[in-house]
Each structure stands twice: as structure tokens, then as C-alpha cells.
Amino acid sequence: MYSTAFLDLPPLVNAAGTVRLPGSKSISNRVLLLAGLAEGTTDVRDLLDSDDTRVMLAALEALGCRLQRNRASLLVTGIGGQLRTREAKLFLGNAGTAMRPLTAALAVLAATQGGAFELSGVPRMHERPIGDLVDALRQLGCPVADLAQPGFPPLRVGDGATHMLQTGAPIRVRGDVSSQFLTALLLALPLVTTDGPVTIEVDGELISKPYIDITLRLLARFGIDVQRDGYRRFVLPQGSAYRTPGRIHVEGDASSASYFVALGAIAATDKPVRIEGVGLDSIQGDIRFIDAAQAMGAQVKGGDGWLEVKRGAWPLKGITLNCNHIPDAAMTLAVMALYADGPTRLTDIASWRVKETDRIAAMATELRKLGATVEEGADFIEVQPLPAGAWRAASIHTYDDHRMAMCLSLAALNPLAGAGQPVPVRIEDPRCVAKTFPDYFEALFDLVQPLAGSVPVLTVDGPTASGKGTLASELAAKLGYHLLDSGALYRATALAAQDAGISLEDEASLAMMAAQLDLRFDGHRVLLGGRDITDPLRLESTGGMASRVSVHPAVRQALFQLQLSFRRLPGLVADGRDMGTVVFPSAELKVFLTASVEQRASRRLKQLLGKGVAATLDGLLADLRARDERDMLRSVAPCKPAEDAVLLDNSALSIDASVEQVLGWWQARRPF
Ligand SMILES: Nc1ncnc2c1ncn2[C@@H]1O[C@H](COP(=O)(O)OP(=O)(O)OP(=O)(O)O)[C@@H](O)[C@H]1O
Ligand SMILES: Nc1ccn([C@H]2C[C@H](O)[C@@H](COP(=O)(O)O)O2)c(=O)n1
């Protein structure tokens, strides 16, 4: 997962390969609540691991459910409809799929068994309406107190006392703001059917009906057979009781599939994008997104648990579509619309305005930043195609909304819109995808090809102990980029030579060995032929040997391709001696880092003593001078600033100040 302040996506031009989807958020949180309320233990497979499921799990644990995590599954032992805890404060983040059903379930349990629970979330959750559900619970006779603005969380349900509920008369609930209110009642009211059946009647036209279908199917799996009259009237039979189904499998998230369906439709020109975990047999309403994608031109094939998507019509075809049945996935259509031959109008999407953010306003604002013409209304959005040449590089604000981040990432495919200046796209706060798809960007990068030469590179060259490694790894962490410590390759070659008894002057043998290095970087550990060489790699003596090995042109040539292979999406920070001059001459920013030799020697001394390695200042000064001379005066790729490098003397700069300085230079070169 990328937890950086922003993530820059270079222009992308092709897509192919397979993505395995994380579990559906809607199914995961429903299953968790049902398992938590049921008698017995439920073995939940392929559960989504994300922010929204984590808050649900924390709530269940606080309520006395037992959770046992195994490698492939989560075992949930429920409370069997009996409160184990009578008071708790539950923080539910921005998870509507946790807030609404837990409010209803705890309201009826607290009222009938005596309890009091506070439910709160992030500030945006406190702006998301829940009044219609609260009204329905109050009709029943459940005490519900608004703790801030009436009709919005935070709420307190129950007052510690027991109450008789009015289950004899139908409970009325509005269906035209969020279908989650009805889902919440359907999940909660089986708990109070001891004295007779309980009826729910829906006022107004129910939106997002497919989500109710998911709720009903899952209720059936947990032993509740709801009788119904279409989507207007639902009857929970007397004596309903949750029974664990034993094992339950969570299918992949159909809303998350929409980004990869769109990716295939836009960019899979040769081989398809294959999506695993969700398919034509899906119980999720958002699977119908594929109909919309096909209407726009996508070629879609599928079976049970899989889909394959390729580009069909190109440009895509603009469509007008009522999106009431696919409210979440429909956002993806708004970005696909940029690649269409005419306007795309998405209607009946008023619910977008009360989601993680006001999604109609957010989508319109961000698409306009890219250069698009967008019209928005109370319950629609109309997006004009964005012709080649009209795209602008944009820094996309994501509003703490995972779907904004994932949808807008598709704008990086802009080179496919036609001849014109390709532009990168910046996604602000990429971590917001953690709500449903923590590894979304990693999955995207596995499938796409960047425009040739567009993966950004930042080089940091300089003499030994100037702080290159420290600076480069901080920069890579801040930008979410890969890191190449090129010195480590020379060091590993030197160690391998030592192990094999090869002389450091034997250029041909060294080069042959360097070309076959079995080197693996595993986090901070470095493995050579499976052996952990992390510690020996950093020895001063190894640095000295590396310096001698690196003077040989054939060795440098042997390591050249390996270094180039580190240039992968989304970008690279490379440190060494010749990164800016030889290996990445087209790097966007080249920094040449220096510090006085005295300063460098004293830093290295501190570093070594800190690791318990004996050293003296005089000895280090002599070693550094010798190494500087060899590295700077050798005939091939000497350590020197590239002509277009920026010099940074950090003798009097802290590490943080150096990082800020370089990030400032980097930002100045970005088009955002
Ligand atoms: N700006 C700075 N101010 C103070 N200390 C620093 C600064 N930058 C780096 N250091 C410290 O200097 C030491 C050497 O830094 P580092 O290992 O990053 O250098 P290097 O140039 O990568 O060395 P080498 O070429 O030997 O790999 C480390 O202990 C690091 O914490
Ligand atoms: N791009 C590079 C990186 C390193 N070397 C050589 C010269 C250094 O003295 C030695 C060890 O590097 P360090 O880990 O200290 O950065 O490797 C080089 O020639 N070119």
C-alpha cells in the first residue's frame, strides 16, 4: 500500500495480465455482522482486509465475539443474539456498511436486553445521513439519542433499561436515500421475532436494489428466510434465529472489478485483462457494470469467478445510462467517458452526494482539472470526451474517497486518447484506497505498461559517506518510488569474488560473475545466492573492495542492464557514482551530494561506532581519501556531477533539511 502524500502516475499505454480481486466490502461486512450475531462459529474465507472491515472486526471484538485468524480464514464465534457486553463506544471510521447495520442491531439488542452503545466515526461519517434509519428504530420503541446533529452520527442507542418493542405494526423506512437503512433493519430485526413476525415497509422508490438482494441472500445463508413483496414489503418470520452456515466464502469485490474492466476496455489491445475472484455468477449488483462497459465498447468474456476484458470499440462510445442499480461502479464510467466519441450522461445518481464525499461535485471538479467539460446536476453528471492535446497534467484531490483515487488513476492512460502531449497524473493521498483495496496501485502497476521513457528517475550521486544512501531511501519512501543502491551491486560482486577466490584485478572473471549475480533484495535484507549478506555488505572493507572492482569497464557493463531494470512503475530513486552521468542520463533530477571529507569521516565514525564496529577518525579519513581518489579518477564512469546536476553540499544540513531541499527541486520539475 502506498502511504505517501501523493503518487505520481506516468502516462500509461497498454494493459494485460491477471488481477486477483480482494473480497467484496459489502459482502465482507454483512457476513461479519451476521457471523457476529449468530450462534456458533463461522469460518469466513477470502474476507476483505481493509479499513472498513477492520472497524467492523474491532466492533465485534468489543461486543464479545471471538475472532481467530488463521492463514486462509477468519473464525468468528458469535454472540448468539445475546449481549455479552452492555456498554461500549464503537468507532466505525467512514464505513457506512458498519455504521448503519450496527446501529440497528445494537439498538434492538440494547432495547430488549438492557444496554447502551455509542457509535461514532470520522468527521465525514458525521455528515452522512442516518435519520431515516433512526426514525424507523424509534417507531419500534428503541431509544436512540443524537449526540451531535440530529439525523447524523454520532449516536447513542439504548439507555441501559429494557423496553417492549412495537413489533406488531409494520416498521416503515425510506428507501430513496440509501438502501443501507433497509439492509440494516433486515439484518437487525430477526433478533426480535420471538413474539411474532416483523414486517418492514419501504416508503418511496428503493434505490440500489441489488444491495438488498445481497442482504437477502446472506440472510438465507444464515438461516433467515425473508418473505417479500417485491422491494416494498419484507416479512421476517416469527422465531427467526441466526444459524452459522459453517464455512462462507466472500467473493471478490465487483465494484473494484470495475477499474480493471475499464482498464481492459481502454488499454488491452492485444491480450486481455483477466479479473479473478468475481465473475458472471456474482451476487453483487455492481457486476452489471460490465453491461455498461460493453455498451461503451468493451469486449467482455466471463465465467464463474472470472472475467476477461479487451478493447472493442475505440474510441469508446458515449452513453446515457440510469445508474441507480450500480451507484458505486458507475463512477468508473465517468472517467471512461473521457475516452469516448461523444458525451456520457449518468443519471439517477443522487446517492453519490451522500457517500464518502459528495461524489458528483468531486468527480466534476477533478475531471475539469484534467481539461474535461463536465455538467453536473442534483442527480446526474454529463462528461464530454477529452480530445488528444487537450489533456492537462493534474493533481487529483481524492477527498478521502477510495473510489475517487481508483477511478481517476485511469486518466493516466491519456496517451491512448490520440496524438498529443501525454501527461502524468498525480493522485493525492493514495492511501485512501485502503478502505476497500489496499494494494490497488500495486495491482495496477502489475498490469500496465508505461509510455517508453516516462517512468521518472531521480539520481543521487556523490562520494562515499556523503549521505547518498540515507537521502535516496528517504526520497524513495516519500515518493513511493523504487530504490536502487547501485553501490550494493558492486559490493555484492566484490563479496562474491572473495567467496570464489577471484582476484579483484581479474576483470574477465569478475565481469562474468557480475553478470550472473544471484542477488535478491528483500526489504532491508540482501541475499546473495540465498545467503544473507546484509551485514558484510556494509563493512568498510567491502566498500573498499567494491571500489577496486568497479574500476573495470567489463564489470560496469555487466551490471548495466541490472541497474536499468530497477526503473519500474511508479518511479525510481537511484544512488551511486554514475547514476546521472551514465546509467540514467535522462533522469528528471540529478543531485550531486557532497560534504567535506572531515564531515563525512566523522559521520561514518559515528555510524560505525553506533554499530559496535571499531574505527578511528584518522583511519577513516585515509580510507575515504583513497576511495574518493579511485572513484573520481578512474577512466570509466568516474564519480562526478552530470552537467545538468544540482549540487548539494550537506556539510551543514540535517538529513531532513536535505530531503526537503531535494523534494522542493523535484516538485519544481513536476508539471502539477
Ligand atoms: N545531512 C546529514 N547530516 C548528518 N548526517 C548525515 C547526513 N546525511 C547522512 N548522514 C549520516 O551519515 C552517515 C553516512 O550516510 P550514508 O550511509 O547514507 O552515506 P552514503 O553516501 O550512502 O555512503 P556509502 O557511499 O558508503 O554507501 C549515516 O550515518 C547517515 O545517517
Ligand atoms: N554507481 C556506482 C556505485 C558504486 N560504485 C563503486 C564505488 C564505491 O566506492 C563502491 C561502493 O559504493 P557505495 O556502496 O559506498 O556507494 O562501489 C560505483 O563505481 N558506481
pLDDT tens, residue by residue, 31-43: 999 999 999 999 9
**CA–CA separation, 269 vs 64, rounded Å?**
52
Which of 457, 557, 572, 631 best tests ligand 2's pocket when mutated (most atoms within 8 Å of CB)? 631
Ligand 2-lining residues (CB < 6 angstroms) = 464, 486-487, 490-491, 543, 546-547, 550, 576-579, 627, 631
Superfamily of the domain at 455-481+570-672: P-loop containing nucleotide triphosphate hydrolases (3.40.50.300)
Choose which CATH entry (2.40.50.140, 3.65.10.10, 3.40.50.720, 3.40.50.2300) describes domain 25-249: 3.65.10.10
Higher-scoring residue by pLDDT: 207, 508 = 508
Q: How many CA atoms lie within 13 A of 383 on its CB side?
A: 33
Predicted local confidence at residue 177, as pLDDT: 82
What percentage of residues in the chain have a pLDDT greater than 70? Answer: 100
Asked if 6-22+253-450 and 25-249 have one fold, the answer is yes
| CA separation for the pair 643, 166 (Å, rounded) | 81
CATH superfamily of 6-22+253-450: Enolpyruvate transferase domain (3.65.10.10)
Residue located via cell numbers 475516452: 339
Known binding-site residue numbers:
25-26, 30, 96, 128, 178-180, 208, 328, 355, 359, 403, 435, 462-470
For the chain, the structural domain boundaries read: 6-22+253-450, 25-249, 455-481+570-672, 488-555
Is the Cβ atom of 543 under 6 angstroms away from ligand 1?
yes
Residues marked active site are found at 328
Ligand 1 centroid distance, CA of 491 (Å): 17
What was the pLDDT predicted at 637?
94
The pLDDT-based confidence of 256 (bands split at 50, 70, 90) is: very high
Mean pLDDT of all residues in 626-640: 93
Minimum CA distance residue for ligand 2 atom 9: 547
Binding site for phosphoenolpyruvate, by residue number, is: 25, 96, 128, 180, 359, 403, 435
Q: What is the pLDDT of residues 526-558, one digit of tens each?
A: 999 999 999 999 999 999 999 999 999 999 999
Q: Please give the mean pLDDT across all residues of the chain.
A: 96
Mean pLDDT score, 622-637: 93
pLDDT of res. 176: 87
Using a 10 angstrom Cβ sphere, with 0-12 exposed, 13-18 middle and 19 or more buried, the burial of residue 606 is exposed
Question: What does the pLDDT read at residue 502?
Answer: 97
Nearest ligand to the CA atom of 475? 1
pTM summary value: 0.91
Q: Is the pLDDT of residue 492 over 90?
A: yes
pLDDT at site 523:
85
- How close is the Cα of 577 to the center of ligand 2, in Å? 6
How much is the ipTM here? Answer: 0.98
pLDDT for 564 beyond 90: yes
- Tell me the average pLDDT across 152-180: 95
Query: DSSP of 263-291, one letter per residue?
Result: HHHHH-SSSPEEEES--TT--SGGGGHHH
pLDDT value of position 419: 84
Q: Which pLDDT band holds residue 207 (cuts at 50, 70, 90)?
A: confident
- CA 220 to chain centroid, in Å, comes to 32
Cα 296 to averaged position of ligand 2 atoms, centre (Å)? 53
To test the pocket of ligand 2, the residue of 485, 537, 540, 547 to mutate (highest count of ligand atoms within 8 Å of its CB) is 547
Extract the C-alpha cell encoding 500.
570464489
- Residue ranges for the binding site for ATP? 462-470
- Mean pLDDT of the region 332-346: 98
